[in-house]
Amino acid sequence: MSLRTEWVFLEFDKFFIDNHITTFGITRQQVEEWRDTRINDAPSTICIKYSILSQFCKYMCKVGYDCYIPRIPSNPTKNSFTPHIFTNREMADIFQACDNMRLYDKHMSTILFIVPIIIRLLYATGLRISEALSLKNKDVDFNRRCLYIRKSKNGQERIAPMSDALEEALKQYLHYRDRMPTPRINDTNGYFFVSPNGTNCRQGNVYTWFRKALAISGIPHTGDHQGPRVHDFRHTFAVHSLVQMAKSGLDLYYSLPLLSTFLGHKSLGATDHYIRLTAEMYPDLLKDEKGICAYVFPKSNNLAYDGND
C-alpha cells in the first residue's frame, strides 16, 4: 500500500469516527457527506480519493458487506495542465536573484547558500527536486563528470552527465560547503546538500526561497497548483534541451530516447509531449538557445559514460 493510499484511508477513518458511524458497510449518503467536507481538494485529488474508495467498497462487497460503490467523477483539469516553461531571460533573472539574496540574521538551519546551486542543478539536469536533495557525496563524481541518481520516482537508477558550467558551479558550492565547521561533512554517505547545522535540505525550504526568487525576478506566481513550480525547471530543461538539439540539426523524435533516459521516464510516451510544447507552444525559444543554455545538455563528447543506464 502506498503512503498516499494510507493517508486517504486515514481521512476516511477520521470521517467515520467523527460522525460516530459504527455499522459495517458504506452508504451513498455517507459518501456524499464525506465529499461535502472536501471543499479544498483539487479535482485531480478528488478523483484519486474516489478511485481508492471505489476499490475499497468493491472489496467490502466481495467479502460480504453491502457497500455503495461510487463512480469516479470526471476530472475537468485532466490533461489540461500546461507547465510554465521559463524563458532564457527568466532563467537569467532567477539565477541573478538567487545569487544576490541575503540573510540579515543568523540561522544555522538556513539553506540560502544552497539555493543558487540547487536551482542551477535542477535546470541543468532535469532532476526532480526529491532526486537532487537525495544525492549523497558519493553520487557526485567529478572524475567521470556525472551524477548518480539512486532514489528516483520510478525506482530506477540512472546517470546524469555534467556540463562544463554545472561542474564549475558544483565545485564552487563544494569549496564553500566544506569550509563549514560541520562534523563528517565529507563522509561518502553524507548528503551533498546540507545546511550549516549539518541537516539535509528539505523540499519545502527550497520552495520558500524559490518563491522569493520569483518575486525578485518579477515573475508572477499564480498559486493553486498553477505555478510556476520548482518542478517546472524539469519541464524547462526538457524543452530547452530539445531546442538545442533541433538547432544542432538533430531530428527531435530521434532525440527522444536520449531525453527520456535523462529524465528517467519509463516510456517515450511520457516524454513525447515535450515535442509539442517545443514546436507549438514555445516557438520563441527556438530563436536564441545560446548563453543561458550553457547549463543544459553538455557537448556530445561528455555523454560517453559507458552507456550503462
For 60-101, write each residue's pLDDT tens digit.
Answer: 898 988 899 988 887 655 555 678 889 899 999 999 999 999
- pLDDT value for 289: 43
Residue 41, phi then psi, degrees to nearest 5: -80, 140
- CA 137 vs CA 169, 191, 273: distances in Å: 15, 6, 34
Task: List Cβ neighbours of 71 (8 Å cut-off, separation of 6 or more).
Answer: 50, 54
Encoded amino acid at 102, one letter: R
- Residue 136 pairs with which residues in a beta bridge? 191
Mean pLDDT of 121-146: 94
- Residue 67 pairs with which residues in a beta bridge? 26
- Residue 161 pairs with which residues in a beta bridge? 146
Across the chain, mean pLDDT equals: 81
Nearest to 117 by CA among 106, 125, 109: 125
Distance spanning both ends of the chain, measured CA to CA: 28
| Torsion of the alpha carbons at 236, 256, 273 and 139, rounded to the nearest 10 | -50
- pLDDT value for 221: 85
Provide the 8-state DSSP code for 155.
S
When pLDDT is cut at 50, 70 and 90, the band that residue 175 belongs to is very high
Q: How many angstroms separate the CA atoms of 245 and 206, rounded?
A: 30
- pLDDT value for 180: 86
Task: List Cβ neighbours of 167 (8 Å cut-off, separation of 6 or more).
Answer: 142, 145
Residue entry with cell 537569467: 92
